[in-house]
Structure 1
Amino acid sequence: MPRIESTAARLAKLGFADPARAERLVQEAGAEWLLDDFAAVADPDLALLSLTRVAERESGLLDALRSDEGLRSRLLGVLGVSAALGEHLVTHEGHWRSLAGEQAVLRPGEGELRAALLRAVGAEPADGQPRASVASPRRELKSAYRERLLRLAARDITGAASFTEVTAELSDLAGAALEAGLAVARAETGPGGLTAEELSTVRLAVIGMGKCGARELNYISDVDVIFVAEPAEGADETKALRVATRLAQGMMRACAELWEVDAGLRPEGRAGPLVRTLTSHLAYYRRWAKTWEFQALLKARPVAGDAELGAAYVSAVDELVWHAASRDNFVEDVQAMRRRVEAHVREDGERQLKLGPGGLRDIEFAVQLLQLVHGRLDPLLRRRATLPALAALSRGGYVGREDARGLAEAYTFLRQVEHLLQLHRLRRTHIVPSAPGDLRRLGRGLRLGPDPEAEFVRQWKKHAREARRLHEKLFYRPLLQAVARLPDSETRLSTAAATARLKALGFGDPSGALRHIAALTTGVSRRAAIQRTLLPVMLGWFADTPDPDAGLLGFRQVSDQLGTTPWYLRLLRDETAVAARMARVLGTSRYATDLLTRAPEAVAMLGSDADLEARPFAALRAEAAAAVSRHDDAETAVASVRALRRRELFRTAVADLSGLTDIEQVGVALSELNDVTIQAALDAAIAKVRLESRGESPGRFAVIAMGRLGGMECSYASDADVMFVCDRMESAFAVANELRRLLALPAPDPPLLIDPDLRPEGRQGPLVRTLASYRAYYGRWSSPWESQALLRARFSAGDAELGQAFVSMIDELRYPPGGLPLESVREIRRLKARMEAERLPRGADPALHTKLGRGGLSDVEWVAQLLQLQHAGSLSSLRTTRTLEALRAAVHEELLEADEARVLADSWRFASRIRDAIMLVKGRAGDMVPTDVNERRLIAGTLGYPPDGSEDFVDDYRRVTRRARKVVERVFYGD
């Protein structure tokens, strides 16, 4: 006999998550005949529960459902998606009837919607004027609005209305509600109410912005508006604006239970007046408006109030909108807008339909920016809504057909998901839930097959990935197709359009950029094919750097050298991290770019943070020694060591630019690298001198590091301050001079210049001395400044025993056991004051000179050194060659307040970072915070400031150094 299926099993097959409860509810309601209809419902459990609640109050409902298949489909569809609309039907008797009959499938016109909502609040549909008293107009407005929302949702859920029809009707319904809200505001009487005479003094128009203006509104969204008013003929403007403001506020209150009316897009935002005249609006836009405000005005549309005034407003601002791309600072504004889009991605970004990667904002921003860039010359692009604008961009050749179709599909899918999310509780949300039941409801609501939960997640992720990919591609691939003759090219940008797009993306020399793109991508070679794949993404990364032009030029130079190397393009194609970091480095640092173009194989170290860690000193020293030993002549040996140094400088610079190391670690890495280089060059020099003296040993020879090298605080531009110690004078001068010669040989690499001027008697004194000669000099002739200079002395290269003997010998001098005599303290203070007065370059701003300026490096270092001279004789913790270590020790020994040490250290780090950033960006040394606006922007960008943050950078530096100078004046110059 055939097996009889139980009701519970049947319910489970129909999609009920709780068949037992469903069976009970069906039996109680006597609705077994309805069961098959639940198979097409998003959430059968929710639909059944809501249906039984409504049926308890509506005696004729089940009979109506039995006789009207369309009503059955629409009502169950709504109840299975929206718990909030189900609650509305429970509390609003008879509203379910609006889903019955032919009227339920007809799309209402904008006029019908306005008339319905105006009648609900007791206003005349013809002119919006009050005609009848309504006890609670706001409640009636909400009820009428929800009923119309119910009808629309039913057509949407059952597929009787397309996505664009739904968003347009939601926008029209919002406009109708705003019109009804204005009517409510006009009708408010009693204390504080507006009189008929007052109302006659002003014309008020409501301009829809955002999705409302573009007729692509969500179910639940803030409704963005701008208010524009004009006084009636003969009326006082100030009084008229006061009346208009009260009307606008009343309208916003009347609509508050539907959604928030947001006027934040008005001139000056929330700080500006709520209502302005048309003349005032235009004056603001012409003089003060930012690019994002013109982007917002793309969607401006009159939606309520005085239609003639609204049309005049939109007509007037249109002219300004389409010339925004030719305004000053357009590029900086676009970059700021892109950062703002990225900054809104929160921790839940991966589940964000709107603000997450590949979300709705990605698509909308890309489309709007392309409209601004090209719409000035092409009026066909001037569309308010996203999908029509995207179609126009495709027809005009600015976006490929397939790309436009992919974006449109992603946008439509994400918006439909957004609608289902918002309908559920009638709440504003863009977060995709994680609960399986919620995901299942979304999948069934989109009719996604036998496994709706899994299929929904798959399609959502696919569309988000595709939207993100196309967002990145949208700006850049057409540029390739404008210069490279691609047989499959859909997009045909003119040279003028390509130039405009490059300029909008931050390229200062668009013509040069187009030449580089053409050189990289034109042709049928494998290299050109891979470059055509790489460049759409890399151009985006270049556009995000401080100097996109330099980045693209550097990429071409490196590619010209390595383009035929099989591993190079494969590495960039397959390792996204390598290409991204390479673009960042090339577009930020001329110094690093120069290093890379001379050693292009160093690209290989860009893929991993671990590859950018500073190599151990011992490993570097062993590699350098091995390189020297492989060559017979000193020049070739030192050239091989320079290649090692070039590679390690690049490693350090990239780690620095990538934020993988701090300024102290950079100083140590550069100082150790300089020690290694000096040792290797010294080995080569000694070998050569020994060879020239027929094998006779030149004796022991040591290099003593001084200055920043001694303090392990080298910058990219530092010379090597040193002194030479020997035990036999006969060959020592030859060794020292050969060492200097080898390191000074012309080469394209950053030089390491040996500076021995801190030796006794300076340039007038002998280049090399024996230990005994140094002891004799310091014992008889030493001055306080020499003791101060010796605070940084340490062994660097050569004979370690001799070097340590020198360091031990000078300890008594630099760490005087009884402290520093008062007269010596005064002399050091006088010397510092004279240096401030005499050594600062003519015309330099003392507040912006990182080395000699107020609160700069010299200030901080002299404070630390004075404390060492005064107290290191008795406090061994102060015996260090490093500035920040000395400050930390001074705090530990209670010689300096912790807050004061922190202020000094902050200033030292900031000034040191600026000096390094100047070298990294410009490829040449500098001590001044740049006065040139463009240079200052580049330096600020390297330090992590946004493109429009150069003034913040300068303000921060002034503030930090000002605080440091106060500490210097108390600690260094105080009694």
Structure 2
Amino acid sequence: MKTTVALSELQSSPLRSLSKADEKSARSALKDFAAQAPELGQALAKNSTLADFLAATFSLSPFLRDTAFADPAMLARAVTEPLDRNLDGLCRRARQAWKPSEGAEGPVTEQALMASLRRLKREAALTLGLADLAGVASAAETTAWLSDVAEASLAAAIDFLLLGLDDAGKITLPDRANPSQGSGLIVLGMGKLGARELNYSSDIDIVLFFEPDARVLKDPGDGADLFSKMARRLIRIMQERTGDGYVFRTDLRLRPDPGSTPLAIPVEAALNYYEGRGQNWERAAFIKARPVAGDLEAGQQFCRELVPFVFRKYLDYAAIADIHSIKRQIHAHRGFGDIAVKGHNVKLGRGGIREIEFFVQTQQLIAGGRMPALRGRRTDEMLQALVQARWIDAETADTLTEAYWYLRDIEHRIQIVGDEQSHTLPETEAELKRIAYLAGHKDTKVFAADFTRRLKTVEHHYAELFEHESHLSGEAGNLVFTGEDDDPDTMATLKRLGFDKPSEIAKIIRTWHYGRYRATQSAEARERLTELTPELLTAFGRTRRADEALLRFDSFLSGLPSGIQLFSLLGQNPGLLSLIVTIMSSAPRLADIIARKPHVFDGMLDPSLLAELPTRDYLKQRLDAFLLGNFAYEEILDRLRIVASEQRFLIGVRLLTGAITGARAGRALTDLADLILETTLRAVEAEVASVHGKVPGQRVALLGMGKLGSHEMTAGSDIDLLLIYDHDAEADESDGKKPIDPPRYFARLTQRLIAALSAPTAEGVLYEVDLRLRPSGNKGPVATRINAFAKYQREEAWTWEHMALTRARTVAGDESLRADVDTIVAEIIAERLDRAKIASDVLEMRKLMDQEKPPKSNWDLKLIPGGLVDIEFMAQHLALVEAFPDGAERPTTTADVLAALGSRKLKADDLKTVLAALSLETELSQMMRLCLDGDFDPAEAPAGLIDQLCRTAELPDLKTLEADLKRQAKQVRTIMLGLLNADIVQATAAHSKG
């Protein structure tokens, strides 16, 4: 219902001033404003009640006073214009804020959009706040108008951002005049925004999905990255505080699995998630979901497709337990346990708003599948729908509806004081009096009686729905850790949760409670950890070998310098808690890293961690930012160690959570190594030059070999390197204060480089370095001049050295020398040496490895017959005997070489088998190297890691996985032998004919 009344027509003032001084100050200011805004002056002159009301309002609400006093013209409009016309205009202007005004030069800038939306939100808040307090607008109307303002602002920001992407050539919009239409970008409003029930200081909860097939994206595979970056800009536009304030705080954490998914998710992936893994709390959340911006038609279709997930066909009493357990957790928080007035949380406390919402939502979840009328979004409307469905009686509905809007009114009064996101009544009598007056009561005693009566009514109805269900009593059971003696009921609870040694677990938790770690020394930290403990124990208890996982978490806590921020985040972010539990239960190596180096954990607190792919550019930005400034040589090396350990850890976290594949992790770890090598080489060259100067014409390049060269590094890889140099032919010594001859100069530079990379310091080791692939191996010089390198490779190198060269690429150093080295490598590989000899040498080498370095177990995926070495040897053999396509860049990864050349020598099915085996063995190897420092032994491995490996292979259990690996390996070994023996026969026959 829209309100056509203007405040200037106010007949009586429902408010009284908090103090005479405040009222006097407000009246004086109003008199000054009347001179600046004639319409306001006229209204005040005609209606003394209006002046009384405004003076009282500004004495009670510093937020409304400061907002009004900042712009008298805005106050005049709020007072004199009919409410609906004023707010309709504000919403219309907000919705069109992305469009340039008539006569404007150029498009709207982001700064201009942000300023415009903030001013409009501020005016809407003032207008609605005054109308609400005057009784001109009801709480239902106020929340609906606030939602309309948020929706218009969101839609404008989305249109602006989509148009920007189109301008940048990253997408192609079907209609630039209506950017969102047909864009396939879905923006759903959740919670109070979805239900059009926003309060003054609400966050707006939204989720973003996109339809890759909407033909807007030039490459559908770029959608998650592109729209996730756009989502981050959207958050900035909406919530960054500027001189004009903010629009609405914006939260995207209601998306599927927020700890491991990008900010924008493809529609199909989202639907698959909800159908397969969606939780009851997510079902409850989606009751209120509706399209608020972006492609509204696509959004409506998405919501229709989610109906079977949200509203089950059959009665769903099981959902009550989940919802009720959330309520029990809320009650467990300090201050929420009893009905009170001072300090009572109107939203979460007993008898509060959340109990009414739960009352409605649980019954919607139970019966909405059979009764479409129970699928609405608004709490008050659904209370009446429950009556029509004969689910509750009319008296209950009316009582709860009245209590709901009364409590929403009180919530608004709390927030309108200082525009703070609070739901808690003040603790002091003076501040409680402010709320009482804002609510229209004559004193706090009358207010307290009214307030507690509503709370008790709500609690009574809520208790009838939930508390009489005996099977819903405490899910966790007793968890008491006071004193030194074990509580028997707590021991039983811990055992039931999944812990084998409950007494030891209790001892650990008492250590937390007693503040024996730095992270738990403050009372606030201990309180937050105590509140979190039931959730932590439940989460760890779900893992197999829960005791081990919790011990690792305890080791992590013991090394933290502070815990308040972490415990708060874990309590508010289920995704982060889930990630911690995953690490502790699956990855002892990562758990050990964060226990020894807690700073690596900081990166996990970045909300964009799992949304951002660890590309080379992404890693370079992080590295450059950390090295910004002038640092001494040792400082540079220490900072490199810090950033390298953090980024290796975060790449591992992405792999562990499934945000990236093992192959992508290998690429990221290699990109990181490349960047570290570039920076380290520059620092080492400068350090050596500071003492010995430079050799005239000096050029240095690093040739990456092995997994570094092939972009296939794992979490535990060392780096195979060769330093190649060149200088002027006539140069006989360097030009520094301590000149030395070129061979000694470049040998010393190489030794300094190895020390910089592999010498242990307080910050650890960057990389272990292996130089054994240099010409003549360990007998040769540590640095090689380019002409010697070329001569050796052409005239003396063994087949295995040419095989190694197929994976080589320059990774750092002088660009011209890198080009020369890469050319030599390409020429040598392209020489087409004796095919039969190469195949024979490969077979001989593999046979020798089988004898001298046999696999340690069937899980030694590198060395088992048919393992990674067999596949790599096939790729290296093909690279030496087959020509790459003309003009194509020479690939170095095993998969790329096989893809480019495999079809020439292998049957299609055989090639498919080899590539499938390579993919599986790579993924499993990456996961095992990430999670363990040593070899994988199924009997000793963490149960969580075994589960991770099975999930990675998409197989139900370890036994099936082992059988599948054995089958694939056997096929690969047969294919490899067939390929090499066929080449020997074919080459020998060709030679005989010749």
Whether the 8 Å CA contact 1:449–1:455 is kept in 2: the answer is no
Note if 1:725 corresponds to 2:701: no
Distance 1:473 1:774, change over 3 A: farther
Distance 1:889 1:575, change over 3 A: same
Whether the 8 Å CA contact 1:357–1:464 is kept in 2: the answer is no
Distance 1:628 1:452, change over 3 A: closer
- For each residue in 1:896-926, what CA deviation from the matched residue of structure 2 results, as whole angstroms up to 9, or x when unmatched? 444333322222222222222223333x143
Q: Which residue does the alignment assign to 1:762?
A: 777
Q: Which residue does the alignment assign to 1:514?
A: 506
Distance of 1:941 and 1:464 partners within structure 2: 43
Q: Counterpart of 2:804 in structure 1: which amino acid?
A: A
Distance 1:564 1:472, change over 3 A: farther
Q: Which residue does the alignment assign to 2:874?
A: 863
Note if 1:911 corresponds to 2:928: no
How far is 1:793 from its partner? 0.6
Q: Counterpart of 2:390 in structure 1: which amino acid?
A: R
Note if 1:692 corresponds to 2:691: yes
Distance of 2:482 and 2:373 partners within structure 1: 41
More displaced stretch, 957-966 vs 822-831 = 957-966
Aligned pair partner of 2:392 in 434, 440, 446:
446
Q: Which residue does the alignment assign to 2:972?
A: 964
SS in structure 2 of the partner of residue 611 of structure 1? coil
Aligned pair partner of 1:574 in 549, 569, 572:
572
SS in structure 2 of the partner of residue 702 of structure 1? strand
Q: Counterpart of 1:964 in structure 2: which amino acid?
A: V
How far is 1:657 from its partner? 0.9
How far is 1:419 from its partner? 10
Q: Which residue does the alignment assign to 2:679?
A: 680
Whether the 8 Å CA contact 1:657–1:942 is kept in 2: the answer is no
Q: Counterpart of 1:573 in structure 2: which amino acid?
A: G
SS in structure 2 of the partner of residue 446 of structure 1? coil
Aligned pair partner of 2:930 in 912, 920, 924:
920
- For each residue in 1:222-277, what CA deviation from the matched residue of structure 2 results, as whole angstroms up to 9, or x when unmatched? xxxxxxxxxxxxxxxxxxxxxxxxxxxxxxxxxxxxxxxxxxxxxxxxxxxxxxxx
Distance of 1:472 and 1:716 partners within structure 2: 45
Distance of 2:471 and 2:514 partners within structure 1: 24
Distance 1:474 1:752, change over 3 A: farther
Q: Which residue does the alignment assign to 1:739?
A: 753
- For each residue in 1:794-831, what CA deviation from the matched residue of structure 2 results, as whole angstroms up to 9, or x when unmatched? 01122232122111112121122x46522222222222
Alignment TM-score, normalising by the size of structure 2: 0.51
Note if 1:883 corresponds to 2:894: yes
Distance of 2:363 and 2:617 partners within structure 1: 62
Q: Counterpart of 1:446 in structure 2: which amino acid?
A: I
Distance of 1:855 and 1:453 partners within structure 2: 73
Whether the 8 Å CA contact 2:833–2:881 is kept in 1: the answer is yes
Q: Which residue does the alignment assign to 1:399?
A: none
Q: Which residue does the alignment assign to 2:829?
A: 814
Aligned pair partner of 2:562 in 558, 561, 564:
564
Q: 1:382-401, aligned counterparts within 5 Å?
A: none
- For each residue in 1:43-89, what CA deviation from the matched residue of structure 2 results, as whole angstroms up to 9, or x when unmatched? xxxxxxxxxxxxxxxxxxxxxxxxxxxxxxxxxxxxxxxxxxxxxxx
Whether the 8 Å CA contact 1:410–1:466 is kept in 2: the answer is no
How far is 1:792 from its partner? 0.6
Q: Which residue does the alignment assign to 2:789?
A: 774
How far is 1:586 from its partner? 2.8
Q: Counterpart of 1:777 in structure 2: which amino acid?
A: Y
Aligned pair partner of 1:592 in 586, 590, 593:
590
Distance of 2:930 and 2:838 partners within structure 1: 39
SS in structure 1 of the partner of residue 702 of structure 2? strand
Q: Which residue does the alignment assign to 2:527?
A: 529
Distance 1:966 1:351, change over 3 A: farther
Distance of 2:315 and 2:717 partners within structure 1: 46
Q: Which residue does the alignment assign to 1:939?
A: 946
Distance 1:541 1:702, change over 3 A: same
How far is 1:889 from its partner? 1.7
SS in structure 2 of the partner of residue 610 of structure 1? coil
Q: Which residue does the alignment assign to 2:861?
A: 850
Distance of 1:722 and 1:942 partners within structure 2: 31
SS in structure 1 of the partner of residue 781 of structure 2? coil
Note if 1:650 corresponds to 2:649: yes
Distance of 1:530 and 1:430 partners within structure 2: 41
How far is 1:955 from its partner? 2.7
Distance 1:698 1:471, change over 3 A: farther
Q: Which residue does the alignment assign to 1:235?
A: none
How far is 1:848 from its partner? 3.4
Distance 1:712 1:948, change over 3 A: closer
SS in structure 2 of the partner of residue 444 of structure 1? coil
Which one has the largest radius of gyration?
Answer: 1
Q: 1:327-476, aligned counterparts within 5 Å?
A: 348-352=308-312, 359=319, 434=375, 440=386, 443-449=389-395, 474=474, 476=476
Q: Which residue does the alignment assign to 1:802?
A: 817
How far is 1:660 from its partner? 0.4
SS in structure 1 of the partner of residue 931 of structure 2? helix
Whether the 8 Å CA contact 1:857–1:908 is kept in 2: the answer is yes
Distance 1:820 1:362, change over 3 A: farther
Distance of 1:772 and 1:896 partners within structure 2: 37
Q: Counterpart of 1:944 in structure 2: which amino acid?
A: R
Q: Counterpart of 2:526 in structure 1: which amino acid?
A: A
Distance of 2:463 and 2:803 partners within structure 1: 66
Distance 1:432 1:911, change over 3 A: farther
SS in structure 1 of the partner of residue 609 of structure 2? helix
Whether the 8 Å CA contact 2:545–2:943 is kept in 1: the answer is no
SS in structure 1 of the partner of residue 854 of structure 2? coil
How far is 1:768 from its partner? 0.9
Q: Which residue does the alignment assign to 2:482?
A: 484
Q: 1:144-543, aligned counterparts within 5 Å?
A: 348-352=308-312, 359=319, 434=375, 440=386, 443-449=389-395, 474=474, 476=476, 478-479=478-479, 482-484=480-482, 495-522=487-514, 525-543=523-541
Q: Which residue does the alignment assign to 2:331?
A: none
Whether the 8 Å CA contact 1:795–1:803 is kept in 2: the answer is yes
SS in structure 2 of the partner of residue 723 of structure 1? strand
Q: Which residue does the alignment assign to 1:48?
A: none
Distance 1:542 1:356, change over 3 A: farther
Q: Counterpart of 1:856 in structure 2: which amino acid?
A: G
SS in structure 2 of the partner of residue 721 of structure 1? strand
How far is 1:641 from its partner? 0.4
- For each residue in 1:4-43, what CA deviation from the matched residue of structure 2 results, as whole angstroms up to 9, or x when unmatched? xxxxxxxxxxxxxxxxxxxxxxxxxxxxxxxxxxxxxxxx
Distance of 2:557 and 2:465 partners within structure 1: 29
- For each residue in 1:472-522, what CA deviation from the matched residue of structure 2 results, as whole angstroms up to 9, or x when unmatched? 99455733xx21369xxxxxx954443343344333443332222222234
Distance 1:638 1:518, change over 3 A: same
Distance of 1:433 and 1:661 partners within structure 2: 40
SS in structure 2 of the partner of residue 483 of structure 1? coil
Whether the 8 Å CA contact 1:756–1:767 is kept in 2: the answer is yes
Whether the 8 Å CA contact 1:443–1:453 is kept in 2: the answer is no
Whether the 8 Å CA contact 2:757–2:768 is kept in 1: the answer is yes
Q: Counterpart of 2:836 in structure 1: which amino acid?
A: L
Distance 1:866 1:949, change over 3 A: same
Distance of 1:698 and 1:750 partners within structure 2: 32
Distance of 2:783 and 2:745 partners within structure 1: 10
Taking CA–CA contacts closer than 8 Å with sequence separation of 6 or more, which of the two structures ends up with the larger relative contact order? 2
Whether the 8 Å CA contact 2:323–2:362 is kept in 1: the answer is no
How far is 1:358 from its partner? 5.7
| Residue segments in structure 1 that go unaligned for 5+ positions in a row | 1-337, 367-401, 423-428, 487-492
How far is 1:341 from its partner? 11
Number of residue pairs aligned between Structure 1 and Structure 2: 578
Distance 1:937 1:640, change over 3 A: closer
Q: Counterpart of 1:645 in structure 2: which amino acid?
A: A
- For each residue in 1:100-129, what CA deviation from the matched residue of structure 2 results, as whole angstroms up to 9, or x when unmatched? xxxxxxxxxxxxxxxxxxxxxxxxxxxxxx
Note if 1:930 corresponds to 2:937: yes
How far is 1:934 from its partner? 4.5
Q: Which residue does the alignment assign to 1:617?
A: 616
